[in-house]
């Protein structure tokens, strides 16, 4: 028997005997079956209705039920024979709080639409206070379901995204390594106020070496430029003999080569030392720094630093079980790409695989903003597209990639001569500067469904709201496969809330982009 895991916001139907499984919270799943044709299917929707100006998609019950019926009929089912079972809609705090009674509204839309089509409901297992696991046999219509608290051991190993639950270390021990006493004091105060345990503050790598052996910190913050031994040289030694998650600290004057070398050696993230001690600057620094340190200390990060992610197969997030990618609704105008921690390797793979006639691409990737010139120089001669540090007012051309520089958010505006880049100084959004959300949301405002969005590895949820806006207008949303990402948090959150049309390894994204670009508009 074939097996198929159904992601949130998706649906599938099969003529071959298949066991479809999914996990439900406040979401609802409608199972359909034709006992004569032996065709069965299941959807998994998160919300009842799209907005008035949104393009319907399977994330919404009103669309998911109609699409599932259509797919059943395409596979040979007859409407007068189709039967239904309805599950889920629990009063559960899920990954996204979308208002009160969302579960009840999801249940109501299922019953209303099934009644409209004259489809008899054989079983209802809805409401309650718990999530559910669900397995549907498409041939026999046998449904195995249980509440999540009845399968604690099994449900603990997976969440609604179908991947292992995201975990962040509850207690984090930090060692600060910086030659500036002012920075050491500043970082100590920031960490202690945020509940992190500062186990030491070293003025140079030699002091740090002794403290690491004695205190065994979970994370280091490490200055790039220090006397006696540079941070980069110390990082190289550290990764050879005692791999530890490291957040590099750099001044605005640090060389891009040093920052890029640190990333290649295994540094997790970067943060700039404040050039001024303005209260708002320090507040933004504290929020960003603490989140970066917590992310670095997350479970499995040591394994990720020491080992390259395993090659995983492409996983397509298709509306149809037949495996056909969703057609684009508008001509593709612009490509937007976001990510933060751990996204640099995936970004390199994509840029080196883009065709010369790729539509204009704008990149909001905070981890490479520290060394954009060096990053572009490194890829010189390896790409067919032109790489450039974006400038305010740039008219974006086919075959060009524009990387948003540090300290700015990047927006896309529609112009008479095509897409135009607008740079704005600002504070972090979703703890990121530049922010993928800002870029994605501006693109959809300018071009609606003519946007292709990619969210690479990263911690936090930056980019997820932007993907939702793009999906609702009919654009294409792609996320890096969580098993291909050093930090799967952003992509996995997008999967959990049903806004990922496709899950692809980085090596496959450029190919998919061109296949999508070449589709005719329907």
pLDDT of residue 161: 75
Distance (Å, whole) CA 152 – CA 272: 43
Q: Which fold has domain 334-517?
A: Rossmann fold (3.40.50)
- Of the candidates 18, 33, 44, 477, the residue annotated as catalytic is 44
**pLDDT (mean) for 125-141:** 89
Instruction: Kindly tell me if the per-residue pLDDT of 317 is higher than 60.
Output: no
Catalytic option among 27, 133, 383, 477: 27
How far is CA 449 from each of CA 47, 61, 397, 446, rounded to the nearest angstrom? 20, 21, 19, 10
Taking the CB of residue 220, how many other CB atoms lie within 10 A of it?
28
Closest Cα to residue 170, out of 134, 197, 208? 197
CA distance 312 to 484: 7
Share above pLDDT 90 across residues of the chain, in percent, rounded to a whole number: 61
253-292 confidence digits (pLDDT tens):
556 788 888 888 888 888 877 766 667 777 777 888 888 8
Cβ atoms < 10 Å from Cβ of 46:
27
Q: Which letter does DSSP use for residue 228 in this model?
A: S
Contact 407, 275 (CB under 8 A): no
272 is catalytic: no
Q: Higher-confidence residue: 367 or 86?
A: 86
Q: Is the pLDDT of residue 363 over 70?
A: yes
Provide the 8-state DSSP code for 157.
T
pLDDT at 522: 59
- Range with the lowest mean pLDDT among 207-211, 318-322, 463-467? 318-322
pLDDT at residue 297, as a whole number: 83
d(CA 395, CA 19): 50
The pLDDT, as a whole number, for residue 446 is 95
Q: For residue 316, what pLDDT is reported?
A: 42
pLDDT of residue 519: 87
- Position 314 pLDDT exceeds 60: no
| pLDDT band for position 130 (cuts 50, 70, 90) | confident
Range with the poorest average pLDDT among 74-83, 98-107, 135-144: 98-107
Mean of the per-residue pLDDT values of the chain: 86
Q: Is the pLDDT of residue 108 over 90?
A: yes
Domains 173-306 and 334-517 share a fold: yes
Q: What is the pLDDT of residue 254?
A: 58
CATH topology of domain 2-155: 60s Ribosomal Protein L30; Chain: A; (3.30.1330)
Q: What is the pLDDT of residue 322?
A: 35
| Residue 352 among the catalytic residues | no
Q: What is the pTM for the complete model shown?
A: 0.88
Marked catalytic residue, from 22, 133, 221, 477: 22
pLDDT at residue 7 above 60?
A: yes
Residue 411 pLDDT exceeds 90: yes
- For residue 146, what pLDDT is reported? 79
pLDDT at 425 exceeding the cut of 60: yes
Q: How far apart are CA 195 and CA 262, in angstroms?
A: 27
| pLDDT of amino acid 221 | 95
What per-residue confidence (pLDDT) applies to 323? 38
Domain boundaries, the chain: 2-155, 173-306, 334-517
> Lowest mean pLDDT: which of 83-92, 171-180, 239-248, 298-307?
298-307
Which tens digits make up the pLDDT trace of 441-483? 999 999 999 999 999 999 889 999 999 999 999 999 999 999 9
22 is catalytic: yes
Confidence of residue 148 (pLDDT cuts 50, 70, 90): low
The larger pLDDT score, comparing residue 160 to residue 481, is at 481
Percent of the chain with pLDDT over 70: 87
Instruction: Compute CA distances 91 → 27, 86, 301, 461, 511, whole Å.
Output: 9, 16, 33, 23, 41
CATH 3.40.50.720 fits 173-306, yes or no: no
> Is residue 406 scored above 70 in pLDDT?
yes
Contacts with 112 (C-beta within 8 Å, 6 or more apart), sequence order: none
């Amino acid at each position: 028997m074939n097996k198929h895991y159904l992601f949130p916001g998706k649906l599938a139907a099969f003529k071959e005997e298949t066991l479809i499984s999914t996990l439900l919270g406040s979401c609802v799943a409608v199972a359909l079956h034709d006992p004569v044709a032996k065709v069965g299917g299941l959807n998994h929707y998160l919300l009842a209705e799209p907005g008035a100006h949104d393009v319907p998609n399977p994330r919404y019950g009103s669309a998911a039920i109609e699409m599932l019926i259509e797919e059943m009929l395409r596979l040979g089912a007859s409407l007068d024979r189709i039967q239904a079972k309805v599950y889920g809609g629990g009063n559960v705090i899920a990954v996204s709080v979308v208002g009160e009674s969302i579960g009840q509204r999801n249940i109501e839309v299922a019953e209303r639409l099934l009644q409209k089509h004259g489809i008899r409901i054989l079983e209802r297992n809805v409401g309650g206070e718990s999530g559910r696991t669900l397995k549907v046999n498409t041939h026999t219509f046998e449904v195995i379901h249980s509440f999540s608290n009845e399968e604690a051991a099994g449900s603990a190993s997976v969440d609604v995204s179908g991947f292992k639950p995201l975990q962040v270390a509850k207690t984090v021990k930090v060692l600060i390594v910086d030659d500036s006493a002012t920075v050491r004091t500043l970082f100590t105060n920031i960490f202690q106020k945020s509940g992190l345990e500062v186990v030491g503050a070293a003025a140079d790598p030699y002091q740090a070496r002794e403290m690491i052996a004695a205190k065994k910190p979970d994370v280091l913050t490490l200055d790039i430029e220090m006397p006696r031994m540079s941070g980069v040289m110390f990082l190289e030694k550290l990764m050879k003999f005692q791999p530890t998650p490291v957040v590099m600290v750099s001044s605005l004057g640090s060389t891009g080569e040093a920052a890029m070398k640190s990333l290649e050696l295994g540094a997790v993230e970067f943060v700039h030392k404040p050039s001024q001690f303005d209260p708002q600057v320090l507040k933004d620094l504290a929020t960003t720094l603490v989140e970066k340190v917590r992310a670095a200390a997350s479970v499995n990060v040591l394994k990720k630093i020491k080992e390259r992610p395993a090659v995983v197969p492409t996983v397509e997030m298709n509306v149809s079980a037949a495996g056909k990618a969703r057609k684009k609704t508008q001509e593709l105008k612009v490509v937007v790409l976001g990510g933060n921690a751990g996204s640099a390797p995936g970004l390199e793979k994509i840029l080196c695989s883009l065709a010369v006639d790729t539509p204009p691409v704008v990149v909001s990737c905070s981890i490479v903003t520290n060394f954009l010139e060096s990053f572009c120089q490194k890829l010189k001669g390896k790409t067919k597209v032109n790489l450039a540090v974006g400038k305010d007012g740039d008219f974006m051309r086919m075959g060009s990639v524009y990387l948003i520089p540090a300290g700015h958010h990047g927006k896309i505006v529609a112009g008479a001569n095509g897409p135009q880049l607008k740079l704005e100084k600002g504070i972090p959004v979703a703890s990121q500067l530049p922010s993928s959300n800002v870029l994605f949301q501006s693109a959809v405002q300018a071009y609606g469904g003519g946007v292709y969005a990619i969210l690479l590895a990263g911690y936090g949820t930056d980019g997820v709201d932007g993907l939702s806006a793009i999906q609702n207008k009919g654009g294409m949303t792609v996320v890096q496969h969580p098993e291909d990402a050093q930090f799967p948090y952003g992509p996995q959150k997008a999967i959990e809330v049903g806004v990922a049309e496709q899950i692809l390894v980085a090596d496959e994204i450029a190919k998919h982009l061109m296949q999508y670009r070449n589709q005719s508009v329907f």
